[in-house]
Structure 1
Amino acid sequence: MTMSVGLDLKTQKALVEGVMPWLVPTGLAAEALSRLDRPLLAWMQDPEFHMFDSAAHYAEYEDEPGGLSRLERKIATLPPRPEWAMERVWTPDEETDEAYDAAYEKACVTIGGRRLHPRDLDAYTTIAYELADLADQDDDFDPNDIESEADLVRGDLEAALSWAAAGVCVLQQSLPYPFRDVLPYGELDNRPAHRTVYAYANLLGLKHPRKAAPWFTAMVYFSPMDNMGARFLAPGGPSSRLPFGN
């Protein structure tokens, strides 16, 4: 990166700490991007009303048993940051109307042999988990039965990762790099972005836990409220761990 020229290693690390890693689109991800008629819309909200104060947020929790984790204490030192919102592109369900369903279907294309709306982040996430066929998705799942990644993944992890990566690449077309702001989970239309990043980090963690770590960290940075629970898998989080391998 050009911004690192002339900087020592410690400074370079500080510049990208908490920043979402950026994927180079290859294979399925490149195909997905080629089928986009335009990027998913994303915008910074009015800073007069939409600035996230990490210090104020964490102040509400610092007196709880155990206090703040090392990761949370770092994020609490950040200045107020702008909040972003994203365009709504959701998979049709029982709550969407006929007009929305028709518009969604009209926008669908074929990617990787599957029919989907190329800007529907949840579609990539759903396909990824479907292909991975994780044992912990079952109602009768018992974590005590899991000793390794091989016990958890019953499907095709590589194919699943490709779909999750495609979703992340579609998202990253819409955000600036480095993304240091906040993408509030409370905004319903932002939630597909959270789900697709978490899916990629989760699946990557089953193969390369250390490579997944910065993704979980980034999720806590861009969403300190952390409704997805990424802090529990991020280094320095409340109960960070690196499962299965290294």
Structure 2
Amino acid sequence: MEISHDDQGPVRVITMSGPGGLNVFTLDVHEELGARLTEADGDDRVRVIILQGTDRSFSAGADIDSFPAAPCDPTTFVTEFLQANSLPERLRKPVLAVVRGSATAGGFELALACDWIFALPEARFSLPEARFGLVAGYAAARLTHIVGAHHARRLLMTGESLTADGAATLGLPVTVADDPLQAALGMADQICRGTPHAIRLIKQRTVALGRAFDPDFGISVAAYAQLWNLPDTREAITAWRENRPARQRPLNDPWQT
């Protein structure tokens, strides 16, 4: 994936562009994106960061082929991905996401970690991890605080695809706009009217409230570790690769090892 940036006055626009416009995250891509975001956060000339993808995709999330093969201990791998997806919320400066196409799985979580999302009407948001026998770790740790427990369970359990209007109606931090980049630049201009120290403190205090439940994603990492090596998870991922329905077993009929 190519990651570039363009400074528009005090606003740095960072653009992710992968092959075919489908932005897929590997650990290397996450490392490069993290470096770009951290660099912008440390540059005194930058007041606001805007993160955008392509017309096709903000991000499709993690490259499933980069997952370590089970059986293994996934703790290090999962922790690195969760830390990468959540980086925008840990930066001192505001980060605004611009979504034109799909924001799926970890891509949705990365947008959710930003301070606000601007989206085209045709943009789509989804968390399909449960279909692979997994859980959307960052979303599981933060969604309840954002939209409430029942809506959080709905999104995490169903993996349904939301329109931008549907996401906004549900209470997600989404503004629907025909030109989402210009809308984001408009909010950035408003933010820049505040002093840098005030903006930083506001972000720190409000993010701290959201992190209170699972600040270091320990609960989410433990959930991944519990699910990672189950035969059900391996079957779900294999079925996706083979483009077929997964064989599912009820909880009271465990897989034979």
Report if TM-score (shorter chain) is over 0.5.
no
Q: Going by fraction, where is strand more abundant, 1 or 2? A: 2
Calculate the TM-score normalised by the size of structure 1.
Answer: 0.26
Calculate the TM-score normalised by the size of structure 2.
Answer: 0.25
Structure of higher RCO (CA pairs closer than 8 Å, 6+ residues apart) = 1
